[in-house]
Amino acid sequence: MAGTQLNVLVSLDQAKTQWYHFMAIVIAGMGFFTDAYDLFCIALVTKLLGRIYYTDPTASTPGTLPPSVSAAVNGVALCGTLAGQLFFGWLGDKLGRKSVYGFTLILMVLCSVASGLSFGHTAKSVIATLCFFRFWLGFGIGGDYPLSATIMSEYANKKTRGAFIAAVFAMQGFGILFGTIVAIVVSAAFRNAYPAPSYAVDPVGSLVPQADYVWRVILMFGTIPAALTYYWRMKMPETARYTALIAKNTKQAAADMSKVLQKEIEDEHEEVQRQVVAGDNWGLFSAQFVRRHGLHLVATTSTWFLLDIAFYSQNLFQKDIFTKVGWIPEAKTMNAIEELFRIARAQALIALCGTIPGYWFTVALIDIMGRFWIQLMGFLMMTVFMIALAVPYEHWTHPAHHTGFVVLYGLTFFFANFGPNSTTFIVPAEIFPARLRSTCHGISAAAGKAGAIVGAFGFLYAAQDPKKPDHGYAPGIGIRNALFVLAGTNLLGTVMTLLVPESKGKSLEEISKENVDEEAA
């Protein structure tokens, strides 16, 4: 069948930017705000957890999480996210985008609160409970990736679709920043209310009992903005592309979008309805999918995998890098809450100056430059800045050069977000047919989380000093060599980007060749 474009889809593609677009961005974006808050705030509190549950007062330095515990706390939510992306991505194509959208939010809110209420009489039981709830938190977060991206791409017009999907993803930046602000405010309040000496002066006195409340408050606080959007999530109608192309109900799709667009949309002629009902039905494991979209799936999965190795290792272990180059003082010169305050302040600066501007540069320019060129440029610039950090690494460790290190480090975040971190999220929501769109986005995102797990677990061990590793760790290759490895993954990402198709300015059906005969394709 030569692809006949339905009236309702033409209306969506040609719709002017209006209030419902911004509502959709906020509703979908608040999920990502919470996602980023929950996934990255754990990096802020891991040093505090080490002090609370693993400090030996007779030791010369404060306690830190043992290697296996640190890997579990940092990585378990990522494992849950990977599983959630695959499961909810598939479910979004089977039951509808809206049907499971509210459930993912409820799961995120409940498990985020439960993480903060982790209980137990021993360090082991507290950490085990925390990891259990963070896995299921990650599972809910995972569902938000394919569902939010697919919903936004299917609601948007073709002229500004890239900017709208990028704006949803850009809420991650505000989530990361909000996490650091909450940590700064909470730690400053507790620091002033319960003054304590540094660990070097008084190992026992440096950790006040009230510090155990600090990390719990921080973990739970991110649920508030997401919980507030639940009502509006439930009020959103199912996307017209799901209703018309998958559920085959063109009349309902036209009725739903007439309300959303506030204009009358004519129902289709019987012949067009018959063509839609008789449209393509080949699946993910068919020869047709491999022929039409096999390379596309290789491109989206490989680039997201390679990007997240670098992106998550940088994000989750900023605090360790800052300590190694001397931007944050040695742990023993501070009390427990002061250390959290300093880490949060450093990460807030990186989020404000590098992370957030990068996201919004993408929003502003993606429908001008296109997805392909932004992704290629981002990977290339990340490679350049990683090498610039790694080659003269000893130079950056001297106190006089810390500012230069932080500027270059911030630029790698800027070009990650004005680059592949945004585009790897956008492209899979555009280039696959409607009945497989959520599934393929989930597979692509899960490949990304596999990369994040490699980054989170691998960097933890690889970055250890070859001569003086942290307590409990085997010698690694050191931060300098780890930065070279990350530069290599970014360079490989640049190469794999060459397989990514450009989707700027085209309708979703045109890009995915939806309902087009094999000969026409």
User: Could you read off the pLDDT tens digit of each residue along the chain, which spans 521 residues?
Assistant: 445 677 888 888 888 888 888 888 998 888 888 888 887 888 888 889 999 999 888 888 898 888 889 888 888 989 999 999 999 999 999 999 888 888 998 999 899 999 999 888 888 999 999 999 999 999 999 999 999 999 999 988 888 999 999 999 999 889 989 999 999 999 999 999 999 999 999 999 999 999 999 999 999 987 887 788 888 888 888 888 888 888 888 888 888 888 888 788 776 666 556 665 555 677 888 888 899 899 999 999 999 999 999 888 776 566 666 766 667 888 889 999 999 999 899 888 888 887 899 999 999 999 999 999 999 999 999 999 999 988 988 887 777 777 788 788 888 889 999 999 999 999 999 999 988 999 999 999 999 999 999 887 887 777 777 888 777 778 888 888 888 999 999 999 999 999 999 999 888 888 887 755 444 44
Q: Which DSSP string corresponds to 40-98?
A: HHHHHHHHHHHHHHH--TTSSS-----HHHHHHHHHHHHHHHHHHHHHHHHHHHHT-HH
Asked if the structure places residue 441 within a domain, the reply is yes
Asked if the structure places residue 484 within a domain, the reply is yes
Asked if the structure places residue 521 within a domain, the reply is no
* Structure-token match 């500004």, residue found: 160
* Structure-token match 């404060």, residue found: 62
The terminus-to-terminus CA distance of the chain in angstroms comes to 11
Asked if the structure places residue 272 within a domain, the reply is yes
Please give the model's pTM, rounded to 2 decimal places: 0.89
Best CA proximity match to 172, nearest among 448, 492, 447, 508: 448
Asked if the structure places residue 181 within a domain, the reply is yes
27-58 burial, b at 16+ Cβ within 10 Å, e below that, comes to bbbbbbbbbbbbbbbbbbbbbbbbbbbbbeee
Asked if the structure places residue 297 within a domain, the reply is yes
Count of the separate structural domains present in the chain: 1
- C-alpha to C-alpha distance for 71 and 79, rounded to whole angstroms: 11
Q: What's 231's domain CATH number?
A: 1.20.1250.20
Asked if the structure places residue 47 within a domain, the reply is yes
**Residue 474, class by beta-carbon neighbours within 10 Å (0-12 exposed, 13-18 middle, 19+ buried)?**
exposed
The pLDDT value recorded for residue 98 is 87
Residues 6+ apart with CB under 8 A from 249: 243
Asked if the structure places residue 186 within a domain, the reply is yes
CB 164 within 8 A of CB 152: yes
Domain with 126 in it: 8-512
